[in-house]
Structure 1
Amino acid sequence: MSQTDFVEARSFDHIPERERHGNVTGQFQLWFMINATLITLLTGAVGTLYKLDLASTLLAILIGSIFGTLFQAFHGAQGPRMGLPQMIQSRVQFGSRGAVLPLAAAMLCQFGFAVFYIQTGAQSLGNLSHFAHPEALQVVFGVAAMAVAIIGYRLVLRVERFASYATLINLVLLSIAAFTWLPLRGLLSQHHFAVVAFLAQFGASATYQIAIAPIVSDYTRYLPSRTKGSAVSSAVFFGTLLAAVWLEFLGAALSAAFPNADLIASIRDLGDRFGFGLGSATMIIGAISCLIACAVTLYSGTVAVLSAAEAFRPIRSTASLRTMTIGCGGLLAIVAVVSMPPNLLDSFSAFLSLLGYFLIPWTAINLTDYYFVRRGAFSITDIMMPNGGIYGKWNKAGIVSYGCGFIAMIPFFSTSLYTGAIASKLNGADIAFSIGLVSATAVYLFLMRRFDRAAELKVVVLAPLNTLDSHDALVGTDMGTSPSGHLYAADH
């Protein structure tokens, strides 16, 4: 096996058809494993943190997860058609340099998640081994995740293919243990409903799913272009939704039963009560799941960094460049982990709230443009140009819409760090996500009301090939080349 086969060289660049591989089943397993981590337990504990009863918490988890997963699933269909990582596609809506705005948000999102994955994975190993130096475990875990991310997509697929079966069995046994040992009937009979608490859990579950949106096409872009978009969206939707709801339900039940206990310790204790070494197995499987997810976030965070940098200076994607960037990002994440306070749940809850505020306007603009404005017709060649080609360096419509969406949410912010004026009048209820979605979408549609799609499509089809060689031409029903060899994506 050559170094090219072993260590992935691709990052922000387009994946040509000859390098496409995989299938929808593999994507389902991948996205199931992305959420099948112990950190997902924390998302399900937000309702309990706000004193919400278990039944209402479970309902908020289900509705919020479905709502958030819809966005990431629609992003997933973009990958095979365009062959590009998720966030560089934002150059269409924001311009090559204007896209630095959502790219920065995605970078902080992914490296932020890496911090929590490292902390949770190391805690799982520490809980198992009772190691006296947690910082050393965090460093080792972070370095291991960096190594997996450097090797890249093929290794991630191979590991998760086997890990997904072990994780599924583990979750089934933990669920049996929960029904056996936890006082679920009594907990479900209690009623402590509050709108603020319900919205907090809804928002946390929805944001947790939306947070995956900036990385979906990073992996679905490797699928053959002939893969049906609906099949890809379904794999992403059901894979992440199943894992999220399952783990968050367990997290909610454990936090309701043991409100003052550490969730990682609680899930270990639940497995120990079941017997057969389930507690220890849960810690091992949980650490492996966190390792895979951490590698994925480091990978995508690196793609975001290089995509942003490439807009200002042409960069050639190489294995050594990926290695260096992942190494720098991973080291920063490790430093952040070592410096974090031990109260993981409070830190993670605040992180999710802030994350949603930055990502909501972007996902609204990106999906509106893809499905309603340009309807899947893009020039891959121009997207890959540092000067933005036909999309320009700065796209006023996307930038202004993002700014308006974000500003409109500020009075509705409700976090431990800041509570907006309107949120205060709503007793702290956080409905900022709905305000951001509606306002960013409305402003973008208004600014693009005179957009001439037919005229742009003619340019897309006839423009000369500038950045991709003829071997990169895609085949299939959704992708093609112009008579002059220009690479484009369109809904023919």
Structure 2
Amino acid sequence: MGAATTVERRSIEPIPAEERHGSPRSQFTLWFGANMQITAVVDGALAVVFGADAMWAIIGLLIGNVAGGAVMALHSAQGPRLGLPQMISSRAQFGVLGAALPLVLVIIMYLGFAATGTVLSGQAITKILHVDASWIGIVIFGALTFVVAAFGYRWIHALGRVATVMGILGFAWLTYKLFADYGASTLLGDPQFDGVSFLLAISLGAGWQLTFGPYVADYSRYLPEDTPERTTFLSTFAGSVVGSMWSMTLGALIASVPKNGFLGNQVGFVGDLAGGGAIAFVIYCVIVVGKLTVNTLNAYGGSMTMLTTATGFTRSSVVRPVLRMACVFGFLAASVLVALVASADFLDSFKNFVLVLLMVFTPWSAINLVDYYLVSRERVDVPALFDRHGRYGAWNVPALVTYVVGVVAQIPFLAQELYTGPITDALGGADISWIIGLLLTAAIYYPWAKRTSNPPEQMIRYDDDRVPA
């Protein structure tokens, strides 16, 4: 692939054997570093803000992260075997053109996370620079994200290693200061169990992990093909779950401090907690690097998804680096604009955003994993993923119908600001829509796909001399 300082030249096409590199350890550092960040702290705080005591919130978040992290890591394990971005593989289930339905929704997801994360990162940058105009921090952060995402895969993994080291040091200090300043009895004392808020905490944890699913294989696809799936799975799972749980636990504990002011000034509160002055400056840098890591994933994955959507209709299988970089720029420009106009009521909007994403992406995840591991049994016709007249066709009715049913079936179980489903009312307000989305979709799709799918007898991949240069 060339030196780490060069711009990545691959995009949606299969990665040839001679360009495969790295080890599963890189998956741990990337996903650990990407989760040691301020938005995960906010996500953990939401569990307490919306009713749970800190201890039960942490337990609920752990259950959700483990459940969602297992699903997410199963997607990651596909990367080395296929050598493809995650959403290209969706063509095997939905068809070359039909995959556009979940793809468009994935782009919206990336855009939403990029915009909401940019708001918090912009706050940190403005504090580092000692300026009052929040737009300055937002624009600078967007520019930094573009540089890393434009250079591509190697730079992203290098940033993950930096974020891991900085995250461990910064979050260890914040954890120490939190207990030193407020004490365990204040943070964890007298827990009271509430079923509804406990289920919300589980949903927040699961939603956090599940929404990584549509792009997680983008960052494992360069690993050698003979990398054990179990190793890739465990490295990704451990990095993502441990990193997110540390951040979310910190958020739940912060939110349990009486009259903490965290809701109105998340970044400022963390800086004050660190001790102000020079140490606060360091913590703001930790916040920026952590958010830069995950925002780069959003921009890079967003550009891959945009290209996957477009090339399904243009019949292209190769995209020049300059076009990939243009997609990264366009995506980030849009996210910066959203961040500039949508920074108000951040916490409430983010809660609803995460739970809505659960409704959209759990059916996709169920279909992709059931088909890959149970129906096709890891046998994919890779060239056919780029040919609408090939094995997978343009549209796959079973997957598309099942996907729509899986989304619609969750509506009665939703607990949203604008809509609460009738079954949710009967459950006292608990949102279990993501569980319905996973289980019902899998139950419908598996027998239907077993009857109608036509997987190859063995993996069919591009020969090395057929991979476009």
What's the TM-score bracket when you normalise by the shorter of the two chains? over 0.9
Which residue is 1:359 aligned to?
361
Question: Structure 1 residues 263, 452: closer, same or farther in 2, change over 3 A?
Answer: closer
Alignment map for 1:13-412 (pairs within 5 Å):
13-257=13-257, 258-261=259-262, 262-272=265-275, 277-315=278-316, 316-385=318-387, 387=388, 389-412=390-413
Matched, 1:415 2:416: yes
Which residue is 1:457 aligned to?
456
Does structure 2 retain, via aligned residues, the 8 Å contact 1:17–1:472?
A: no
SS in 1 for 2:142: helix
Does structure 2 retain, via aligned residues, the 8 Å contact 1:8–1:152?
A: yes
SS in 1 for 2:451: coil
**The 10-residue stretch of structure 1 (444-453 or 391-400) with the greater mean CA deviation from structure 2:** 444-453
Does structure 1 retain, via aligned residues, the 8 Å contact 2:95–2:393?
A: yes
Does structure 1 retain, via aligned residues, the 8 Å contact 2:380–2:458?
A: no
Does structure 1 retain, via aligned residues, the 8 Å contact 2:115–2:336?
A: yes
Question: Residue type matched to 2:136 in 1?
Answer: A
Q: How far apart in 2 are the matches of 1:370 and 1:251?
A: 36
Question: Structure 1 residues 457, 471: closer, same or farther in 2, change over 3 A?
Answer: closer
Q: How far apart in 2 are the matches of 1:31 and 1:341?
A: 26
Does structure 1 retain, via aligned residues, the 8 Å contact 2:315–2:386?
A: no
Q: How far apart in 1 are the matches of 2:180 and 2:4?
A: 50
- In the TM superposition, what whole-angstrom CA distance separates every residue of 1:166-216 from its partner, at most 9, and x where no partner exists? 221222222221221123313322334322211111101110011111111
Q: How far apart in 2 are the matches of 1:460 and 1:131?
A: 56
Deviation at 1:352, TM superposition (A): 0.4
**The 10-residue stretch of structure 1 (74-83 or 157-166) with the greater mean CA deviation from structure 2:** 157-166
Does structure 2 retain, via aligned residues, the 8 Å contact 1:16–1:471?
A: no
Q: How far apart in 2 are the matches of 1:286 and 1:251?
A: 14
Does structure 1 retain, via aligned residues, the 8 Å contact 2:188–2:253?
A: no
Question: Residue type matched to 2:85 in 1?
Answer: P
Does structure 1 retain, via aligned residues, the 8 Å contact 2:126–2:136?
A: no
Does structure 2 retain, via aligned residues, the 8 Å contact 1:48–1:259?
A: no
**The 10-residue stretch of structure 1 (102-111 or 295-304) with the greater mean CA deviation from structure 2:** 102-111
Q: Name structure 2 gaps, 5 residues minimum.
A: none
Does structure 1 retain, via aligned residues, the 8 Å contact 2:379–2:458?
A: no
Q: How far apart in 2 are the matches of 1:41 and 1:142?
A: 21
SS in 1 for 2:313: coil
Q: How far apart in 2 are the matches of 1:154 and 1:215?
A: 16
TM-score (norm 2): 0.94
Which residue is 2:465 aligned to?
470
Question: Residue type matched to 1:470 in 2?
Answer: D
Does structure 2 retain, via aligned residues, the 8 Å contact 1:414–1:423?
A: yes
- In the TM superposition, what whole-angstrom CA distance separates every residue of 1:348-394 from its partner, at most 9, and x where no partner exists? 11110111111000001111111111110001111122x15101110
- In the TM superposition, what whole-angstrom CA distance separates every residue of 1:147-166 from its partner, at most 9, and x where no partner exists? 21111111112222233212
SS in 2 for 1:442: helix
Does structure 2 retain, via aligned residues, the 8 Å contact 1:83–1:222?
A: yes
**The 10-residue stretch of structure 1 (85-94 or 49-58) with the greater mean CA deviation from structure 2:** 49-58
TM-score (norm 1): 0.90
Question: Structure 1 residues 450, 334: closer, same or farther in 2, change over 3 A?
Answer: same
Q: Identity across aligned pairs (percent)? A: 31
**The 10-residue stretch of structure 1 (72-81 or 7-16) with the greater mean CA deviation from structure 2:** 7-16
Q: How far apart in 2 are the matches of 1:140 and 1:330?
A: 11
SS in 1 for 2:391: helix
Question: Residue type matched to 1:36 in 2?
Answer: M
Does structure 2 retain, via aligned residues, the 8 Å contact 1:80–1:227?
A: yes
Q: How far apart in 2 are the matches of 1:4 and 1:193?
A: 51
Does structure 2 retain, via aligned residues, the 8 Å contact 1:71–1:210?
A: yes
Q: How far apart in 2 are the matches of 1:410 and 1:452?
A: 29
- In the TM superposition, what whole-angstrom CA distance separates every residue of 1:399-438 from its partner, at most 9, and x where no partner exists? 1111111111011111112111211222211010111111
Q: How far apart in 1 are the matches of 2:255 and 2:133?
A: 27
Does structure 2 retain, via aligned residues, the 8 Å contact 1:116–1:348?
A: yes
Q: How far apart in 1 are the matches of 2:193 and 2:389?
A: 50
Does structure 1 retain, via aligned residues, the 8 Å contact 2:110–2:298?
A: yes
SS in 1 for 2:37: coil
Question: Residue type matched to 1:100 in 2?
Answer: A
SS in 2 for 1:45: helix
